Every structure is written in structure tokens, then in C-alpha cells.
Amino acid sequence: MKNETLRYSLLAFYTLTIIIVTGLIIYYGTSYYLLPLEERFFHPLHKVLKPTGFWGHGFGIIGSLSMLLGVSIYMIRKRVKKFSRVGILKYWLELHIFLCTIGPILVLFHTTFKFGGIVSVAFWSMVAVVASGVIGRFIYVQIPRSIQGSVYSVNELREEHENIIATVVKRYPDISDDINKLEEKLQSDFDQDKNIFYALLYTVREAILIKGSISSFKAKLNKTDLAKFEITRIITGIKNALTIKRKINTLRVMQQLFNYWHVAHLPFALIMLIIMIIHVIVSISFGYTWIF
């Protein structure tokens, strides 16, 4: 329970940090960023917000370091056996997502929305990395994992599904028939031979169907004599059980899709990293060292 509280606190901190930082930069510099390039020189904030200015340069440095740190700490935690017991993997993944979200935002403001030549390749590679990261996160959450991040087997998932249903039915035997009907309604034969787009559509469709069915089931329970906390407990249990059942069907396909995703995600990240290093070396060579 303490771990989950800490996790949600960190997620709230990450979200608020991204919102506040982005909001402050937009509030402070909108009048500058909206100007045509040839008119920015005369703006009073040009000296500080231009790519070589105090804030503009700082955005680039902090943003780049955020991305480097976000990638490196997650890769080290995930791949170096020595660090395999340091914290919970999904917490490191969430830190990776935070750093690799705020980093590109700061880099975008560093460019002042002006990019060309080799830097444009790095920028669009960064955009591709962020976009593929969003897709990868969606795929990742479709693959059930333990608290430590290890992937559950189909048998483990089935056992967990049955245990949840059994626990709910044991506590509330009067609704066992309703639960069976709900499961039958959501029973869907998943064709393992279909392509990955079929799997994604299936995942979205079933998620919507589960949400709608759960809402109807909750409305029905609200008309009974059950206490509010009991209804919440039932709904939480049934929702978890049905979600697990859906993920059992798509487990193999999602694992395969996740492997394909790595093939697309890593090259863009490497291209961005290489060009970013070249950009930094050239900048330092010309004397742009910020506050150092």
C-alpha cells in the first residue's frame, strides 16, 4: 500500500512538473515565439530566449541531459544484472517517461521552433521517439506484469482471474449469476492468427465494452441494499478480473508487437543521440558554454 501511495505521489509530481514548466515557458515567451523569425531580434526577450541566450541555451542543455539521464538510468536498471534489485522496474519506467517527456519539450523551446539541416533530422527523430514511446507505453500496459515487472504467464493470469471471481462470489453469493452473465456477455473468441492491427482493435473494443458493462452492472448494484464500499469492492474485483481475461487473449500478440516496437523505437533514439552529441560538440567548439 505504501509503495502504491509513493507511486501515485511521484506520478502527480511528474505530471504537475511538466504542466507547470510548460505553462510558465508559454506564458513568459508566447509573444516572442509567435513572432516571425526576422522580427524576433527586436523583441526584448530575444537575448534570453534565443537558442544561445541564457534561458534558451539552458532549455537545450537541461532538456538534453534529461533525455540522456532518462534513457541511461532505465537501460542500466533493466539490463545490468547488478542493479536488477534496485527499486521496482515500473517505477524506473515512469521516471524514464517523465524525463523523456520534459526533455523534448525543453529542447523544442530551445530551438525556438526553428530547425534546419542536420538538427532537423535530430528533431524529427526526437518526435518519432516520443510518438513511438506513447505507442510503446500503450502496448506495455497490455502485457500483465508483477509488481517487480516480470511478465505473467497465461496460466498465472488464468489463476489470478479465477481467484478474483471466486473471492467476489464467496463474499457476495447472491450476485454470482449476474457475474456469470456478465462474463458470458463479454466472452469473445480472439483469433490468434490475425494481424497486430486486429489485436489493437480488439483491445480497444473490449476495453470499451468492459467499461460499458461495468457501468451497467454498477447501476444495478446501486439499487440493492449493498453498502457503497461493498459495491466499490465488487466493481473493482470484477473490473480487474475482466481486464485480465481480455489480456489473456492478446498476451502473445502484444508480446510480439512489443518486440517489433523495440526495432522501430531504438534506431530513432540512436540517430537523435548521435546528432545531439555532434550538435553539442560543435556548440562548445564555437564557445557556447552557457553558464559554465
Nearest to 196 by CA among 237, 142, 245, 232: 142
Residues 6+ apart with CB under 8 A from 273: 68, 71
Tens digits of per-residue pLDDT, 13-46? 999 999 999 999 999 999 999 998 889 999 999 9
Q: What secondary structure does DSSP assign to 212-226, as a single string?
A: HHHHHHHHHHTTSS-
Q: What whole-number distance in Å separates Cα of residue 185 and Cα of residue 188?
A: 8
260 in Cβ contact with 156 (< 8 Å)? no
Average model confidence (pLDDT) across the chain: 81
Residue recorded with cell 473490473? 239
pLDDT at 1 over 60: no
DSSP 173: G
Query: Comparing 78-82, 148-152, 175-179, 259-263, which segment has the lowest mean pLDDT?
Result: 148-152
pLDDT score for 249: 72
Tens digits of per-residue pLDDT, 106-125? 998 998 888 776 767 777 78
pLDDT score for 190: 59
Residue recorded with cell 504537475? 16
- Element (DSSP H or E) covering residue 26: helix 2-33
pLDDT score for 151: 62
**DSSP 3-state helix, strand, coil percentages of the chain (rounded to 5)?**
80, 0, 20
pLDDT at 153 over 80: no
Q: What whole-number distance in Å separates Cα of residue 190 and Cα of residue 207?
A: 14
Retrieve residue 75's grid coordinates.
537501460
pTM of the model as a whole: 0.69
55 in Cβ contact with 49 (< 8 Å)? yes
Q: Summarize the confidence of residues 243-268 as an average pLDDT.
A: 75
Q: Give 111-140 as a 3 state SS string.
A: CCCCCCCHHHHHHHHHHHHHHHHHHHHHHH
Retrieve residue 285's grid coordinates.
567548439
pLDDT score for 45: 93
Rg (CA), the chain: 24
Tens digits of per-residue pLDDT, 195-222? 667 777 777 777 787 888 888 888 888 8
What are the Cα distances from residue 193, in Å, to 54, 143, 196? Answer: 56, 18, 9
Count of alpha carbons within 13 Å of 133, Cβ hemisphere only?
A: 20
What pLDDT band is residue 281 in, cutting at 50, 70 and 90?
confident
pLDDT score for 121: 77
**Ranges of each domain in the chain:** 2-149+258-285, 154-256
